Structure formats: structure tokens, C-alpha cells
Structure 1
Amino acid sequence: MEKKFSVAVYPSQEVMDSVKTMKDYLKSKIDWYNSCNSTAHITICEFTIDESQINQYKEKLFKTADTFTPFSVHLDHFGSYENAGAFFIAPNEESKNKLKPIMKKIQETLKSLKLKKSDDPHMSIGRKLIPENLKIAAQLFTTIEIDFLCKEIVLRELDPVKKQFFVIDTFSFNGNTQPEFVQGSLF
């Protein structure tokens, strides 16, 4: 059976709680909106495959994540994609420059799949907001300072009933710089 999956960066529980508070506050002002119930995350990519194939991709994600070294992410401003009606928290330039190569490497690892990729690291507060609600969000939230240690990526599966992703596996950044063993030839 085909299922939809997502690879993402999850912040610390403290950051998840702060973002949930912001989402709930926005919801109290504009009612229900897309992603008001989703857990705080930075999307790397989404894909749909037959669930029987997922283990081979878990192995690839494990090997890739194993080579990354944990680093600090600093989210310091809000932004929006007006054409998509998205309002989000954005990382500073230094954090963005650390996140982008990781996102690219993971997307490269999964390149055999048809990916819906994210190239601009951000943590959504709301998606598909009408212009009026985007303006309300920008008025409600003006300053932010959030830090977390980026030390893993998560693989999530979409619950088709709740229409929410849930974590099915976590891949730690272990800073393993050992090159993969390559079989050589003696002759």
C-alpha cells in the first residue's frame, strides 16, 4: 500500500511547546488553519512510496545522518511566502548555511524517489493562510529568539485520517567521518 512520508528536522521539546503556543494563539484569532495542529519542524522533503520499500530508505537515511555532526540552530525572525499563504519562523544566515547542505545531502540520498523538496529552511506557523490572516499573523508575531541543537532527523508517516504526520523513526547525527568501506580488487 502506498503511503506518504516526510523527512524533517525536529527541534527540542521546549521549542515544540513554544511553537504550539504560537499556533494556538493564532488559531484563537483566526480559527482553524492549515498546519495549526502540526508539530514544529523544518521540512526536508516528502515522498510517496509503497510501505514495503521504506526499510531500504531508512537504511540510507541512517547512513547519511550518521555522518552529520550536531550543531546549534538559531531562529531569529519571522517571514512569509505570500503566494503560498505561509507564515514561518526563519533561521539566521549562519544556521541557514548549516541546514541547507544537510537538506541537500538528504534529498540527494533519496534522489531515486519523486521528492517534494524544501530548499529554504523554515519552521511553519501557518500554511495556506488567506492574505488577511497572513497580515494578522505578522501583526501578532514580531520578534523571536529560539535556539535548539540540531542533532537528528526524523522520518514521519502521514496518518490519512488525522491528516497529520507522526514520527516512525529517528536518525542521530553521530559525526561519523569513517568513509564507507569500498571493496577493492587484489588483481
Structure 2
Amino acid sequence: MENRYSLVISPPETIIDLVKIMKNELAHEIGWFHSKNSLAHITINEFMANENEIESIKKQLDTICESLKPVFVCLNSFDHYPNGAFFIAPDTVSKIALKQIMKHINQSFPIKTIFKNNEPHLSIARKLTSENISKSYRLFSKPIDLKFECKSIALRLFNPKIKQFEIIAYFELRNNPKPTFEQGTLF
């Protein structure tokens, strides 16, 4: 049986807790919304795999992350997409750094993905009406400035019982520029 997985950048608990509070404040204002119970994260991709494949995928992810360098991330503005997603956006420098990480992972990832993200953002809500997006901007009118060091990516497994993804593994960004696989000759 295939399971649904996602690769994400997971911020520290302090940011996860703050975003959880923000989601609760928004729910108090507008009622339930998509991603209300989802823990704060920046999605890289989503894919399907069976239990027999996942250990091999974990090894491949470890190899992919070998050469990636940790980056400092600053999320400092609210924004939205036309599809109704309301989110916290990274500053320009962070966006470039995160896009490089996401691009490297998505290009190196050996499994067919069902979704690839190339626009880093930390969602607060999804599929909002234009009226609820306006309410979101009014509710979160104060400046925001969240900072953390992205030192790993997380692998999450979708749990159908709670209808949420849960982190099952982390992969450290080790900044090792030396190629992991070197082709040699026998003679």
C-alpha cells in the first residue's frame, strides 16, 4: 500500500507555536479553514511511496542533503496567492537561499512527485475567500519578523486518522561539497 509523504522545512518549536496561535486567532475571526491544524512548515514536495521503498528513499535524501548548506531564514511579511492561500513570506535573501535548497532537492529527488513547490512560504491558511483574506490582513496588521537557521529538512508521513502529516525523519544539511559518489577506475 502506498502512503503519502512530504518533504518540508520545519521551523523551530517557537515559530511552530506562534503560528499555531495565529491560526487559532484567525479561526476565532473567520471560523474553520484549510490547513488550520497543520503545523507550520515550508513545503518542498509531496510524493507517494510504499513502506518497502521508504528506507531507500531516506538514504537517498541523506545523500541529497550532504552538500546542502544551512541557511538563515527571515520571514517578515504577510502575503497571499490568488488561490486563497494566506502566508508569511521570506525576505528576498531568504527566498533566494530557500529556492536553491528546494530546487536542488526537487532536481535530485529520484521519486516521482505529486507536487513540487518552488515558491517558499509558510502558510497560515489555504483556500480563503477574498473577504477572509482581507480579514486576515486586518487581523495580522502588526509587523512580523521570524528568524531561524534552516539546518535540516523533514520527511513527513500523512496520518489518515488525524488527517495531518507527521514528521518521521530529519535530514541534516551538512555543507559537504565533496561529491558523495565518485566513479573510479579499476586499472
Instruction: State the Cα distance separating 1:92 from its structure 2 match.
Output: 0.4
Write the deviation string for residues 33-61 of structure 1: whole angstroms up to 9, x where unpaired: 11111110000000112222111111111
Inter-partner Cα distance in structure 1 for 2:134 and 2:169: 36
Say what the alpha-carbon RMSD is for the aligned residues: 1.2
Instruction: State the Cα distance separating 1:111 from its structure 2 match.
Output: 4.5
Match of 2:168, SS state, is strand
Q: Which residue of 2 aligns with 1:139?
A: 138
Instruction: State the Cα distance separating 1:115 from its structure 2 match.
Output: 3.3
Alignment of 1:6-155 (within 5 A): 6-82=6-82, 84-142=83-141, 143-155=143-155
Unaligned runs of 5+ in 2: none
Q: Which moves more between the two structures, 2-11 or 61-70? A: 61-70
Inter-partner Cα distance in structure 1 for 2:80 and 2:169: 30
CA contact (8 A) 2:76 2:146 kept: yes
CA contact (8 A) 2:63 2:180 kept: no
Match of 2:74, SS state, is strand
Amino acid at match of 2:129: I
Match of 2:183, SS state, is coil
Amino acid at match of 1:99: L
Inter-partner Cα distance in structure 2 for 1:96 and 1:183: 34
Instruction: State the Cα distance separating 1:66 from its structure 2 match.
Output: 2.2
C-alpha distance 86-62 of structure 1, shift in aligned 2 (>3 A): same
Instruction: State the Cα distance separating 1:112 from its structure 2 match.
Output: 3.8
Q: Which moves more between the two structures, 135-144 or 98-107? A: 135-144
TM-score, structure 2 as length reference? 0.95
TM-score, structure 1 as length reference? 0.95
Q: After TM superposition, what 4+ stretches of structure 1 lie above 3 angstroms from structure 2?
A: none
Instruction: State the Cα distance separating 1:30 from its structure 2 match.
Output: 1.0
Instruction: State the Cα distance separating 1:13 from its structure 2 match.
Output: 1.0
Unaligned runs of 5+ in 1: none
Inter-partner Cα distance in structure 1 for 2:170 and 2:121: 20
